[in-house]
Amino acid sequence: MSPNRPQIADVAREAGVSIATVSRVLSGNTPVAPDTAERVRSAVETLNYVPHAAARILASRRTDTLGLLVPEISGAFFQPLLRGIEAGASEAGLDLLIHATQTIPVKARHHTLGEHNTDGLLVFTESLDEKELSRLNAIGFPLVLLHQTPPSSLNIPVVTIENRAGARALVEHLITRHDRRRIAFLRGPEGQEDSTLRERGYREALEAHHLPFDPALVVRGEFDRMVAFESVNTLLSTGMQIDAIFSGDDEAAVGALQALLQAGRRVPEEIAVAGFDDQVLAGSLTPPLTTVRAPTEEVGRQAVQILVRLIKQEEVVSRLILPTELVIRQSCGCPARL
């Protein structure tokens, strides 16, 4: 780094004390005489001394840093998640090291973040393979999973949301309030837990109202605008009869709306549309999107709290499922409120 940064020894000399004393006033966990402390502080000030983090970590065996592994940081879904995590970490006085795994092959993700540079890790769905997960778990490294239930062999806490019930309530709304019977489902990524559970909720709703499940109505959404746009286009062009679309997430719902708009189908009169997540944009769409509110920011905040407890070796719940809530707007056919 830079040539002659001041070190703790320089501060000690300047203040006329030992390095141990300097260390003490800086960390504050050991009492130091007030005037001595003041001398040290002013020496720090005049020398512009900044403790070297690596040396500190090496000696103290703590990093005071949390790690976050997410597929991407720029998606709209991740905004509130990041905000919650940021806030939680900040409140706990911890730094946050973020790694977006999307561009990196799963194999290479192993050691960018781990026991060597963080005190604990927050892992979002699909961001780490099972092998590394179990390695970290085996050495007792604090781990919290987000939106992903761990393999049954591993006892790692999860924080996620109530996907199934939320999806079911939404689809039942479409059925009972708006009398929709041919409801297409834009499913998310294959094997993704949120997606799977939302599909389950969708099927439960159908069953509960004695509607047949038609596999042809389940198409790819991938939580992605473009994919959803294409899928809905195909659906429409094949003449498939539908009167509603339940999109696995709001992002895909945007694509669905665009496809319907382009095809000249009226929403919600002809085809109702609903999403999941209640991203910021949901209320600004045309028509405003009926969806399920996922408390994503809260997920982040809670996950950090659990991770912090884990780091302190305190007891934690092994599974936290935050409630979701139906958000009625106009894309389902409900009237606008004043």
Partner DNA sequence: TTGTACGCGTTATCAG
Partner DNA sequence: CTGATAACGCGTACAA
Residues near a copy of itself (CB under 8 A): 1-3, 5, 48, 50-55, 57-58, 61-63, 72-76, 79-80, 82-83, 86-87, 90, 95-100, 103-104, 110-112, 114-117, 119, 135, 139-141, 254, 257-258, 280-281, 284-286
> Between 120 and 201, whose beta carbon lies closer to a copy of itself?
120
> Between 171 and 304, whose beta carbon lies closer to a copy of itself?
304
> What is the Cα–Cα distance from 97 to 116, expressed in whole angstroms?
12
- Report the partner that residue 24 touches, choosing among a copy of itself, DNA, none (CB closer than 5 to 8 A by kind): DNA
First to last CA, the chain: 60
Tell which residue, 252, 295, 281, 274, has the closest CA to residue 169. 274
- Tell me the CA distances in angstroms from 96 to 79, 84, 119, 209, 316, one per residue in order: 15, 12, 10, 47, 21
Q: Provide the binding-site residues for DNA, judged by CB under 7 A.
A: 5, 7-9, 16-24, 26-27, 29-33, 36-37, 49, 51-52, 55-56, 58-61
Shortest distance, position 146 Cβ to a copy of itself, whole Å: 16
- Report the partner that residue 87 touches, choosing among DNA, a copy of itself, none (CB closer than 5 to 8 A by kind): a copy of itself
Do residues 203 and 166 make contact, with C-beta atoms less than 8 angstroms apart?
no
- Report the partner that residue 337 touches, choosing among DNA, a copy of itself, none (CB closer than 5 to 8 A by kind): none
- Report the partner that residue 176 touches, choosing among DNA, a copy of itself, none (CB closer than 5 to 8 A by kind): none
Q: Between vectors from CA 290 to CA 285 and to CA 291, what angle results, nearest 5°?
A: 110
Tell which residue, 275, 295, 322, has the closest CA to residue 170. 275
Name residues whose C-beta falls within 8 Å of residue 33's C-beta, 6 or more positions apart in sequence: none
> Between 28 and 105, whose beta carbon lies closer to DNA?
28
Q: Which two three-digit tokens encode residue 120?
A: 């604990």
